[in-house]
Amino acid sequence: MDERLEIERLLSRISLRDAVAFKSLYAISAKRLLAVAWRVLQDRAAAEDVVQEVFIKIWSESLPRLMGQNLSLAWLCVVTRNRAIDALRKKKPETPLLWMDDEGTEHSHDAVDESASLLPQLIANQEGARLGECMSQLEGEPRQAMLLAFYDGLTHIQIAKQMHRPLGTVKAWTRRSLVRLKGCMENNI
């Protein structure tokens, strides 16, 4: 059977909530629809999201209302393209934090906080140095647990797994370290 006729037949079966037809339609047309979305978005993950939205739309909302129209592969491609264009319009422009120049040298953005005057910047730098001094006064493993928690954003459970230590030990280290850091920072004011 011609693929286009098969897709039209499957679309009409899906309007009757035929799950097997839905699965078959996906198997036949998903790659083609992904290519349509990718051509617009130039991003595979975003294109996959668009194709997923199209199939959700087909199954859940629009298809029974559209039964009087000509549902075909062309219709699927147009719906996918339109969804991809909508996604592209919603997407905010991104500036990469790291990039490579033509010579292969890696660069990064270094934004200056123009809202702060020199004095607040100096105070912030001094506080950062003070915090570094206080952190250096902590013992090795408690300091590592603090760094994993506050710089890497790990939870107590993740820290315990990574450091191969009991959860209670990690919790005690972070609590005691916070108390010590607070006292050190207050004493260095």
Query: What is the model's pTM?
Result: 0.48
Let me know if residue 105 belongs to a domain.
no
CA–CA separation, 162 vs 141, rounded Å? Answer: 12
Whether residues 83 and 145 fall in one domain: no
Q: Which of 53, 74, 90 is the last residue of a domain?
A: 90
CATH of the domain at 9: 1.10.1740.10
- Token pair for residue 76? 């699927």
Let me know if residue 132 belongs to a domain.
yes
Whether residues 128 and 178 fall in one domain: yes
CATH of the domain at 167: 1.10.10.10
Higher pLDDT, 94 or 27: 27
Whether residues 61 and 128 fall in one domain: no
Using the CB atoms, write b or e for 132-155: b if 16+ within 10 Å. eebbeebeeebebbbebbeeeebe
- What string of H, E and C letters represents the secondary structure of 89-157? HHCCCCCCCEEECCCCCEEECCCCCCCCCHHHHHHHHHHHHHHHHHHHCCCHHHHHHHHHHHCCCCCHH
Whether residues 82 and 152 fall in one domain: no
Q: Determine the 3-state secondary structure of 42 from DSSP.
A: coil
Let me know if residue 108 belongs to a domain.
no
Q: How many residues make up the chain in this entry?
A: 189
HSE value, Cβ hemisphere, 13 Å, CA-based, for 120: 5
Whether residues 70 and 136 fall in one domain: no
Element (H, E) at 31: helix 19-41
| Helical pair 140-150 and 167-187, crossing angle rounded to 10 deg | 90
Q: How many domains does the chain have?
A: 2
Whether residues 163 and 84 fall in one domain: no
Whether residues 10 and 84 fall in one domain: yes
- pLDDT of 119-175, one tens digit each? 666 666 667 777 777 788 888 888 888 888 877 788 889 889 988 999 999 899 888
- pLDDT of 73-121, one tens digit each? 788 888 899 999 999 888 776 666 777 788 888 777 666 556 656 666 6
Whether residues 84 and 135 fall in one domain: no
Let me know if residue 27 belongs to a domain.
yes
Let me know if residue 111 belongs to a domain.
no
* Nearest alpha-carbon partner for 156 in 131, 180, 134, 174: 174
Q: Domain of residue 27: give its range.
A: 3-90
User: Cβ atoms within 10 A of the Cβ of 54, count?
Assistant: 24
Whether residues 74 and 13 fall in one domain: yes
Whether residues 67 and 135 fall in one domain: no
Whether residues 133 and 179 fall in one domain: yes
